[in-house]
Amino acid sequence: MKALENRLEHLIQLGVEGISKASESKLTYSVSPEKWSKKEILGHLIDSGVNNLQRFTEIQFKTKPYTFDNYKQADLVKANDYQHAEINELLGLWKAINNRIRYLFSIQNETTLGYKVVLGSGEVSDLQFLMVDYVDHLEYHLKQILG
């Protein structure tokens, strides 16, 4: 888990450095109304962080296997109106959520990492899979923002 924790820490640093240097026009540009801008992708990563922070926390005390509902990604981005939000607010929120998640990674052990999870598809996995998948997802979208 230490490697995953370090990877997340590195991605947080890259994100903060890269996004804080980007122009507002670069962050708000969208190729079409159906496509998210870089700022909206950051908003999506905030929503992902919020939802996964709750999952990573609840699995510690809820009945196993832990089951959760998928969240409506596009609806959350629209409802939060990330396109018109102040970038420093979004960046601070994203950083804070991910630092909390990074801390949760650091306190897991073999038992907790093995807690069973029922994914939205009905497939059964475990907490470790969820945590790795979260960081993979974050990295994928961070490349879209910084690229």
Task: Report the CATH number at residue 22.
Answer: 1.20.120.450
Average model confidence (pLDDT) across the chain: 96
Q: Is the pLDDT of residue 121 over 90?
A: no
- Yes or no: say if 55 and 68 are a contact pair by the CB < 8 Å rule: yes
pLDDT of residue 119: 87
Burial of 121 (0-12, 13-18, 19+ CB in 10 A): exposed
- Digit-coded pLDDT (tens) for 2-43: 999 999 999 999 999 999 999 999 999 999 989 999 999 999
Q: Which domain holds residue 99?
A: 2-146
Q: H helices then E strands: how many in the chain?
A: 7, 3
Cα angle value 86/105/43 (rounded, 5°): 20
pLDDT of residue 103: 98
DSSP label at 68?
-
**H or E segment and range at residue 118:** strand 116-118
Query: Considering its fold, how many domains does the chain have in total?
Result: 1
